[in-house]
Amino acid sequence: MNKRARQPPSTTWFDRATMNFTNVRLILAREVRDQMRDRRTLFMIFVLPILLYPLLGTAYFQMVQFQTQNSMTVLVVGGGQLASTSTPLIEDSAFSPQLFFDGPRGTELLKLEMAPEGPPSGSDTASDWTAEANRLVQSKKFDAALVFPPDFANRLEAYRKAIHVAANRLPSPPAPLPKGEGSIVEIPRPKIIYTTANERSLMACNRLTAVLDRWTEDVGKTNLVAGGMPAQAVRPFEIDRSNLAGESASKSANIWSRMLPVMLLLWAMTGAFYPAVDLCAGEKERGTLETLLSSPAERSEIVLGKLLTIMAFSMVTSALNLVSVGLTGCLIFRQMQDFGGPPAWAVLWLSLALVPVSALFSALCLALASFARSTKEGQYYLMPLLMLSLPMAVLPMSPGVELNLGNSLIPISGLVLLLKTLLEGSYVQALQFLPVVLAVTMVACWLAIRWAVEQFNKESVIFRESERFAVGLWMRHLMRDRDPTPSAAEGLFCGIMILVLSFVFRSSVAPPAGFDGFARVTLVLQLAVILTPALIMAVILTSSPRQTLLLRLPRWKMIPAAAVLALAMHPFIIALNSLVMYLYPIAPEMKRLVDDLQTKFASADLGLLILCVAAVPAVCEELAFRGFILSGCRNLGNNWRAIIVSAILFGVAHGFLQQSINACVLGIVLGYLAVRSGSLLPGVVFHFLHNAMTVLIAKITPELMDRFPVLGFLVQPSGEGPVYQWPVYLFGGVTSLALLGWFTWFPAARSPEDVLQKVFEQSTEDSG
Amino acid sequence: MIEVQGLTKYYADLRRGRFVALDGLSFYALPGQVYGLLGPNGAGKTTALRILSTVLRPSNGTARVNGYDVVLEPSQVRRQIGFMSANTGIYDRMTAWEMVEYFGRLHGLPPAELTQRMESLFEKFKMNDIRDVLGAKMSTGMRQKVSIARAIVHDPPVLIFDEATAGLDVLVARALLHRVAELRQNGKCIIFSTHIMREAEKLCDRLAIVHRGKILAEGTLEELRQEHGENDLEEIFFQLISRYEQAGTPAAEHDLV
C-alpha cells in the first residue's frame, strides 16, 4: 500500500478553506441551547453571581456592624487609687470619654468593672489579684484586665511633684517618696492581661492600649505643664498629608485593582470549566459524541463549535460576576468610610482582557475535559487546574510586585499585572509591556487550543473506557507484571517523590556553617534523597534496572563528544544565567545565601569541592533523572516529551527559580544525550565537566590571570567575577551546534520504547 | 454499497504492544440487502462499524462506502451514511423535533425540504405526540424511534445499525426490525450488527460470523446451513467458535503481536 497516497485529509488544525462555518454555528447554537436548559449551569453562571456578592456584602456589612457595636468589658484592678491623680483615666466608673477618638461612644464599647479593694475572695494578699485576673480572662468572664500596681498612683504623683520642684527651683519639700525601688523615675508598670487565643480579648487589648496611650500622653503633658513647659513640647508640630487622587478614591482604586483581575481570571476559569466538562466528558458519557462524529461535521468544526460555546459561557460568567461585584461595591461598600465602588474606566480594561483570558481557559478546559472519561472524572480535574492557576493569578498581587519584562513573560501573571497596572492608571508602564503580555497570552492560547484539537483527534482519548481500580490488584500488577523499564506514572512518581523529599530535607536542615557542613549536607542530599529512591524503585519496579538506568557503554566517540560539548556550551549556560538573573532578579535573602556559598567555596579544598559540586551530583542526578525518571517518561510515547518532562522535574529539584530555569535547559541537553546515546555515561561526563567548569571559573582571580596571561584569551575579569571573551562564545556556539547535530546524525542504539514508538508511528502511517 | 478489504485495526497499548481488534476483515454488502455482522461481545463488530462510519481510522486495509474511501474521503462517506449506535445517542436536553432537525441541518438539507421530510417521518413513525418531549424524558422505545428518524432524515443510501436492538423489549425490538426491513425494501444498503441469532436469521440477507476480529464464516443463511450441515444458526455459530478456540489460538498469542 502506498502510505503517502493514503494520508487522510488534515484534521489536526483549523483549515479555513475546508471549514464549514454553518456547521460551527449549528453546533454552537445547539451547545448553547443545551447548556441553557441545564439548571446547574444556569445556577452557576447566572444565579450565583447575581446573588452571591450582594449576599456576601450584606453579610459582611452586618458582621462589621455587629463587631463594632459589640461592647467589651475590662476588669480594672487597683483603679481606685487613680482618683487622686491629676489626669483622669476613669470618670464615673467608666474610661474617660476624652481618651477615645470617638468620644462617649468609645466609652460604651469599652466598659470597665472595678475590682473590689483588698485581696480577692479566697486569698490573703492583694497581690493575688494578678493571678485572679489571669483566671478571669482565661475563663472569658472578662475580655481583658488592667492591673495597676499597689503604689502606682502615689509614685506617679510623686514624680509629677518632683518635676515641679526641680523646674521651679523651690526648696525641696520633704516629699513623701514611696519606698521600694529607689529612684522616682522607676514608676511600676500597669499591666494589660489578655489572650490572643480569644479574638474579643485581642480587640479589647487593642482598644485598651489606645486608651492608655492617650492617657500616658496626657499625663506627660500635665507633667510638662507642672514643670513650666508648654504642653505642645511633646508634639511641637503636626504633619499634613495631601493625596492628589483623593484619599477615598486612591484607597478604592488600590483595592479594586488587586481584586478585580484575580476575580476576572477565577470566574473565567470556573465559567469555562463546568460547560467544558458537560460538553465533552458528558457527551462521551451519554454516548452522543459517536453520533456527532459520524455526522458530516468535521472534528475541527466540532471543536471550534464547542470552544466558542465554552468561551461564551466563560465570558458571561466572568462579566456577570464583575458587574455584580461592582454594583455591590457601589451600593454596599460605599456606606463604609473611605471606600467606594470600582473606578468606571475599569469596565473598559476588564472587558478587553476578558477575551484572551476566556479563550485561554476555555481551550485549557476543553482539552482537559475531552481527556476525562466521565463528568465525574472531569470534575476531579478542576482542583489541579485551580491550584496551578491560582498562584499565578494571586502571587502578582503581593505588595511590591510590579509589571516588568520578567513578569510579563509569565502567562497568567503577566496579564493580571497588566490589568492591575491599567486599573491603577499607570498607562505608560502598561503600554510599555502590553505587546509582550499580549504575545505571551496569544502563544499560550494557541498552544492550549492546539492541545484541545489534538486531544479531540486522538482515538485513544475520545474512546477511553472506564477502568476498574483496586489497590490489591494494582500492587500485584506492580510486582508481577514488571517491565524492563518503569511506566510513565512510575517515572513521574519518582520525580515528584524526589522533589518532596528534597523540600523536606532542605527545610529541616539548618544552613551549614562552613564548607565541611555544606559538603555533608550535599552528600546526604545527593545520596539519600536523590539517588536512593531512584535505585530502590529501579530494583523493585522494573525487571531490568540496568536497562532502566541506561547502564551500558555508548559508542566510545560519544564520551569525548559529550566532554567537548560541555566545555563548548558552558559560556552559553553562564550567559543564560545572567539573562535569567536580569529578568528575574534574585531576592536579597537568597543573594546573601548564594554569596555565602561562594565564600565557602573560595576557602574550600579544590579536590573536595569538585567531588561535592561536580562528581557526586553528576552520578546521582544522572542516575535518578536521566536513568529512572527519563526511562519512565519515555513511555509517554514521545522522546521529546520525555526529555522535556524529565528536564522540568530536574529544574524544579534545584533550589530556587533562577537556578531552576538554567537547570531545566541543561536537563534538556542531558536528556537528549541520554536518548541519543542510549547510555548514561555521556550525560555523566557532560554534567561533571559543566559543574566543574562553574567551580573552576570562579577560582580565576586577577592575580592568577597575571601569573598565567594565557587565561586572558578565555576570560576577562568583571564585577560579578570572570566572564568569557567573545571569541569563546563564537567558537563555543559553532562547536555546540556541530556536536548537537552530530548526535542527531549518529545512529544511536534504539531502546525498546523507541522500537515500540516506531511501531506506533508505522501504525498511524498505515492508518493514513 | 459497502466494500471492505483486509480491514485491520490494532490499538496501541504502550505497555503491551498492539492489541488486534480487527484482523483482515473482508466482505461486501449490496443495496437492498441487510448484511449481518454476528459475533459475541468483543468480537470487533463495533470497531468495524466505527471504521465504516469514519469515527475510527483503520490500521490497515480499505473500506469503501458507496464508492468513497473511509480514509481518503471521510466527509463524503459521512454524507452517505446514517449511523445508529446501541445507546441511541439521544441528547437529554433536546426535544425529538430539535434533534432530528439538528442532524438534518448538519447534513445540509435546505430548511423547506427538511421540514417537509421531518413532517412525513414524524407522521410515519407516529412521533407527533413526542415532538416536544426532551430526550431525558423519553422511554426506550421513543429513543429508538427518534434515533432512527435522526439516522434517515437525510435519506442516506447506507445505514449502519450497531447492536440497535440491545436492551430493547420484544415489542420495541420487533418494531425496529420491521422498520429495518422496510428500509431494505426502499433499496438501502444496511449493515446490522447483533449477537442475537434469531434477529440475524429473520432479517439478514448475508451474514458474517465474527470472532476475535476475524470472519469465521460468511455467506447467505442458506449457504451457511449447507456448508455446516446444520439448520440452526445458533448451533453453527457455537460450532465455529468452539472449533476456532480448540484450534489453539490462545488469547495471549492472538492479542499480542
A287 burial type by CB count under 10 A (0-12 exposed, 13-18 middle, 19+ buried): middle
Query: How large is the average pLDDT for residues A294-308?
Result: 91
What would the DSSP string read from start to end of A85-122?
SSS-SEETTEE-GGGSTTTHHHHHHEEEEEPPSSSPTT
- pLDDT recorded at residue B230: 85
Ranked by mean pLDDT, which of A410-424, A500-514, A753-767 comes out on top?
A410-424
Nearest chain B residue to A20 by CA: give it: B106
Least confident stretch, A57-66, A419-428, A444-453, A751-760:
A751-760
Q: pLDDT higher for B10 or A746? A: B10
C-alpha cell at A284: 462521551
For B158-192, how does the pLDDT look when each residue is reduced to its tens digit (9 = 90+)? 999 988 887 777 887 888 888 899 899 999 999 99
Please, how many CA atoms are within 13 Å of residue A202, restricted to the half-sphere of its CB?
Answer: 5
Domain ranges in chain B? 2-255
Q: pLDDT higher for A637 or B52? A: B52
Give the mean pLDDT of chain A: 81
Structure ipTM? 0.91
DSSP 8-class letter at A611? I
The residue among A149, A143, A146, A156 whose CA lies nearest residue A126 is: A149
Q: A731 CA to chain B: closest CA distance, Å?
A: 43
- pLDDT recorded at residue A766: 47
Give A488's pLDDT tier (boundaries 50, 70, 90): confident
Which helix (DSSP H) or strand (DSSP E) does residue A438 occupy? Answer: helix A427-457
Residues of B in contact with A637 (CB under 8 A): 14
What would the DSSP string read from start to end of A199-260?
HHHHHHHHHHHHHHHHHHHHHHHHHHHHTT--GGGSS--------TT-HHHHHHHHHHHHHH
Q: Are A683 and A562 in contact (CB under 8 A)?
A: yes
Backbone angles phi, psi at A503, to 5 degrees: -60, -45
In A653-751, which residue ranges form alpha helices assigned H by DSSP? 657-677, 681-698, 702-707, 726-745
Q: Is A543 on the interface with B (CB under 8 A)?
A: no
Please answer yes or no on whether A459 and B150 come within 8 Å at the CB atom.
Answer: no
Q: Is B79 on the interface with A (CB under 8 A)?
A: yes
Residue type at A199 in one-letter notation: E
Query: How large is the average pLDDT for residues A231-253?
Result: 71
CB atoms within 10 A of CB A500: 11
The residue among A123, A141, A145, A122 whose CA lies nearest residue A133 is: A145
Q: Are A654 and A577 in contact (CB under 8 A)?
A: no
- Dihedral (Cα; B23, B28, B34, B39), 10-degree rounding: -10
Domain ranges in chain A? 21-60+249-462, 71-233, 509-767
Nearest-angstrom CA–CA distance, A418 and A271: 22
Residue type at B168 in one-letter notation: L
Helix axes A411-424, A382-394, angle to 10 degrees: 50
Nearest-angstrom CA–CA distance, B135 and B91: 6
For B:111-170, CB contacts with A below 8 A are 134, 150, 160
Task: Tell me the percentage of chain B whose pLDDT exceeds 70.
Answer: 93
Q: Tell me if residue A531 falls in helix, strand or coil.
A: helix
Nearest-angstrom CA–CA distance, B33 and B27: 13
C-alpha cell at A686: 557532560
Query: How large is the average pLDDT for residues B243-253?
Result: 63
Q: How many CB pairs under 8 A join A and B?
A: 103
Q: Are A264 and A320 in contact (CB under 8 A)?
A: no
The residue among A164, A168, A144 whose CA lies nearest residue A156 is: A164
Q: Is B92 on the interface with A (CB under 8 A)?
A: yes
Ranked by mean pLDDT, which of A75-79, A651-655, B99-103, B193-197 comes out on top?
B99-103
* β-strands B17-29, A715-716 pairing: unpaired
Nearest chain A residue to B9 by CA: give it: A767
Interior angle at CA B119, CA B117 and CA B125, nearest 5? 100
Query: How large is the average pLDDT for residues B12-30?
Result: 76
Residue with cell 566572564: A723
A171, pLDDT greater than 50: yes
Please, how many CA atoms are within 13 Å of residue A310, restricted to the half-sphere of its CB?
Answer: 33
Q: pLDDT higher for A246 or A588? A: A588
For A357-381, how does the pLDDT look when each residue is reduced to its tens digit (9 = 90+)? 899 899 889 988 888 878 888 888 8
Domain spanning B2-255: CATH superfamily = P-loop containing nucleotide triphosphate hydrolases (3.40.50.300)
- pLDDT recorded at residue A767: 45
DSSP 8-class letter at A3? T
Residues of A in contact with B14 (CB under 8 A): 635, 637, 756, 760
Among B14, B95, B148, B162, most A C-beta atoms within 10 A, so best to mutate, is B14
